[in-house]
Structure 1
């Protein structure tokens, strides 16, 4: 494994252990067994390294979610049943990837103060909306781009809000069934 890969692995470990704002360049290089200069050479800055590591972790999360959902809902599943099934898988990932979600929430706050980070997150959020629209079945070759953007945006808003609830008050978090029931109530479905 080269220094670049060692730095990415170490950055991810540090993000999970210490969080986004408390991870230092020295933490990462000590964990990777490389010099401080390696960060500058491969990434330009510690911030870019941490952002890259977190972005990779989120991509891996999306891939794991897609794999978990493959074939989980059959053709006879209603849209509400599919909605509940998908959120059940997402909630399972919240617990499994709690350090990742905590680091991401720190990163989101930092984006308000770091223009480069904000730009990077803007691009990542667009990818996320597209991926969520695909997961929820509104994207694809014949999918309407506007509908996919709207569904992806709603799911992203739900994901972010639910992630924060999960991190702050896990005892009061809703279940996927609770979300589905709330949607039924909002839409007047019985």
Structure 2
């Protein structure tokens, strides 16, 4: 690995251990074995490096989901069905329950977005790709085949649900909804729309 990759790996470990605000450039250097100047050279700033590290961590979780049998085409649930909806949210919520969950970082980053507009803008661009990537988990198919209009509608709906769920699980996990509640809520919405 080169300095760029070492810095990214060190930053990921720092984020999980200390969070965004408490991680210093010196922490990253110590964790990565790289030198202080290499942060600016490879990433421009500590904050940009931490934003890249956060995106990489989220990507690793997404990759784990895609490789998991629970999200595969042969999972026994029909893509786009209420059963698949429940199954996917159940797996996502399981990751939120873990004490070192990366989702806690999301709340920290959302809260400090105005203080770091450059980081916020970088993460906002990455969020569009997250919207594209989450659709196949629920609807089946391949990420590269997701149409732009689906990213703008279905993907944004799932992103919004995800952000709200992260906030609820971080704020008060005892009262945060589970997959069954979310699925029942969706079923009732579908029922109401069908009646009208």
- TM superposition score normalised by structure 2: 0.85
CA distance in 2 between counterparts of 1:97 and 1:126 reads 27
CA distance in 2 between counterparts of 1:187 and 1:11 reads 43
Structure 1: runs of 5 or more not aligned: none
CA distance in 1 between counterparts of 2:72 and 2:113 reads 33
Question: Contact (CA 8 Å) 2:10, 2:28: kept in 1 or not?
Answer: yes
CA-based RMSD of the aligned residues comes to 2.3
1:75 Cα deviation (Å)? 6.0
1:135 Cα deviation (Å)? 1.9
Residue correspondence of structure 1 range 97-136 to structure 2 within 5 A: 98-136=100-138
Q: Does 1:157 align with 2:160?
A: yes
Number of residue pairs the alignment of both structures matches: 189
- Which string of whole-angstrom CA distances, capped at 9 and with x for unpartnered residues, describes residues 83-103 of structure 1? 101111111222347441122
Runs of 4+ in 1 over 3 A off after TM superposition: 75-78, 96-99, 138-145
CA distance in 2 between counterparts of 1:103 and 1:182 reads 27
What is the match of residue 30 of structure 1? 30
CA distance in 2 between counterparts of 1:142 and 1:37 reads 41
1:176 Cα deviation (Å)? 0.7
- TM superposition score normalised by structure 1: 0.87
Structure 2: runs of 5 or more not aligned: none
